[in-house]
Amino acid sequence: MVSIRDVAKHASVSVATVSRVLNDKGYVSVETRKKVEAAIAELNYRPNEVARSLFKKQSKTLGLILPDIMNPFFPELARAIEDTAAKLGYTVILCNSDEDEEKAQRYLDILLQKYVDGIILASNTIREKTIRELNIPVVCIDREISKDIPTIVVDNKKGARTATQFLKDKGRKRIAHIRGPFDVSNANERCEGYLGIVSSEDWFTESYIINGNYHMETATKVALALLQSHPEVDGIFAANDTMAIGAMKAAYQHGLKVPEDISIIGFDGIALAKASIPELTTIEQPLYALGQKAAKVLIQLIEGQEIEKSFHQFDVQLVEREST
């Protein structure tokens, strides 16, 4: 690897001068600059980012900690973050935490040791205090940890209301809800939204709320049980698309036609929703925009720019397809 010293020698100047033209800082005569640039080109020199990082105490690297990139919700987010980061000169380290606090903590340590400039975090196990102690900018996404930490989320409650109301408007009389995990904030918000619409209905009972874990298989199982015990159910709002697909499977297994016999609506707007047959009606999150925003805010924070506001709640949109 050719170093700044080689360039200096080649151009018969000092390393300081080379550094100056490299960073466009300080005075350099046009002539010397040209000489240096020629040397750089000739030697195909590229500054060593590690040395730079050591000196500057920052690495132009972001950490991205999410539960599991295999969860179809995250790839689009990750892509948006990576795109935006790249555009702004940053690189991103991918970490899968599996919602495991210890694992997340380990990644946090490693990222710190590697001098990452900031972290984007989708987690419900990490607490505010831990984040504060990191002493580097952190942006939370999808899951809110504290109002005092920059956060990019979506209006879950409103989206859930929209979904439930939509089912009602479609003439559905008994609307059930497959909720997400209790320790995930958005799952609780979505459940609240659902309740906001149905809790005053005379038919409503708690048994219309069944517990899912955001995964398909479990959703199929619990939905099937629901359909068996409550054959009157004619509409399901699942707290995410994956579970909605699971519910569709359950409906078929139970001999029900979607959407003729039962309407199913999801939440998230992942690619899967468009790939299912019938295609899934869902509450679509602007996933790419969320990721983009997260990266932008984080980098602003890193670069010390003033942030207008730190809590961003995006709107969500009903996309009607074939399952309702």
DSSP label of 99: T
Separation CA 96–CA 155 (nearest Å): 25
Separation CA 293–CA 304 (nearest Å): 16
| Smallest separation (angstroms) from a copy of itself to the CB of 297 | 20
| 18's tokens | 């080379």
User: Based on CB atoms, which residue is closest to DNA, 36 or 81?
Assistant: 36
Q: Are 185 and 143 in contact (CB under 8 A)?
A: yes
| Smallest separation (angstroms) from a copy of itself to the CB of 60 | 8
SS (H, E, C) 18-47: HHHHHHCCCCCCHHHHHHHHHHHHHHCCCC
Partner from DNA, a copy of itself, none binding residue 20, C-beta < 5-8 Å depending on class: DNA
> Rule CB under 7 A: which of 57-86 touch DNA?
57
- The alpha helices in 265-308, defined as continuous H runs, are 271-275, 287-302
Partner from DNA, a copy of itself, none binding residue 216, C-beta < 5-8 Å depending on class: a copy of itself
Is residue 110 a contact residue for DNA (CB under 7 A)?
no
Give the residue, chosen from 38, 41, 42, 54, that forms a contact with DNA under the rule CB under 7 A: 54
Separation CA 248–CA 257 (nearest Å): 9
Half-sphere exposure of 90 (CA within 13 A, CB side): 30
Is residue 114 a contact residue for DNA (CB under 7 A)?
no
How many CB atoms sit inside 10 A of residue 276's CB? 19
> Rule CB under 7 A: which of 138-177 touch DNA?
none
DSSP label of 178: E
Partner from a copy of itself, DNA, none binding residue 200, C-beta < 5-8 Å depending on class: none
Interface positions with a copy of itself (CB under 8 A): 1, 46-51, 53-54, 57, 59, 61, 64, 68-70, 72, 74-76, 78-79, 82-83, 86, 91-96, 109-110, 112-115, 216, 242, 245, 248-249, 252, 271-272, 274-278
| Smallest separation (angstroms) from a copy of itself to the CB of 19 | 16
| Smallest separation (angstroms) from DNA to the CB of 146 | 29
| Smallest separation (angstroms) from a copy of itself to the CB of 76 | 6
247: which residues sit within 8 A by CB, 6+ positions away? 178, 219, 220, 223, 236, 238, 264
Residues at the interface with DNA (CB under 7 A): 1, 3-5, 12-17, 19-20, 22-23, 25-29, 31-33, 45-48, 51-52, 54-57
